[in-house]
């Protein structure tokens, strides 16, 4: 969706570019329907796929940054986030923004440590 790399390794760090709730469809990638919860779950699944492509998982993530189209989504976002990350609690920032690509409601980026 733009001129960027989905992941970038620098030393022992991996940065995963922000992911929104898109999934592959018959006409190409499209934003999942149903609101914040399905978009959050898909965005998290997209981050997980990037981590796995580098041999990592959520346990390796030490920082996430979350962009919400409306800070009023904060509590609902937290429910979906905890459902996926369970006991993983990386440091996190949540920022309300004026808009996200494709009209997404949430975007999530992650920083991970690459072990030996």
The domain limits of the chain are 7-113
Q: Please work out, in degrees rounded to the nearest 5, the angle formed at the alpha carbon of residue 101 by the alpha carbons of 72 and 91.
A: 55
- Can you give the pLDDT at residue 1? 60
Does 85 score more than 80 pLDDT? yes
pLDDT tens digits, 29-52: 899 999 999 999 999 999 999 999
Q: What is the mean pLDDT of residues 99-113?
A: 96
- Can you give the pLDDT at residue 50? 96
> In the chain, how many H helices and how many E strands?
2, 7
User: Which option is the CATH number for 7-113: 3.20.20.70, 3.40.50.2300, 3.40.50.300, 3.30.1330.40?
Assistant: 3.30.1330.40
The enclosing H or E element of 67 equals: strand 61-68
110's tokens: 């992650």
Residue 116's pLDDT band (cuts 50, 70, 90): low
Task: Give the largest CA-CA distance in the chain.
Answer: 40
């Amino acid at each position: 969706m733009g001129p960027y790399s989905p992941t970038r390794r620098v030393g022992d760090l991996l940065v995963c570019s922000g992911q929104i709730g898109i999934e592959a469809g018959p006409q190409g990638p499209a934003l999942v329907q149903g609101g914040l919860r399905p978009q959050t779950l898909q965005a998290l699944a997209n981050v997980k796929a990037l981590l796995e492509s580098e041999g990592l998982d959520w346990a390796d993530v030490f920082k996430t940054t979350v962009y919400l189209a409306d800070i009023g989504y904060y509590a609902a976002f937290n429910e979906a986030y905890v459902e996926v990350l369970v006991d993983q609690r990386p440091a996190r920032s949540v920022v309300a923004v004026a808009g996200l690509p494709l009209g997404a409601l949430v975007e999530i980026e992650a920083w991970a440590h690459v072990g030996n």
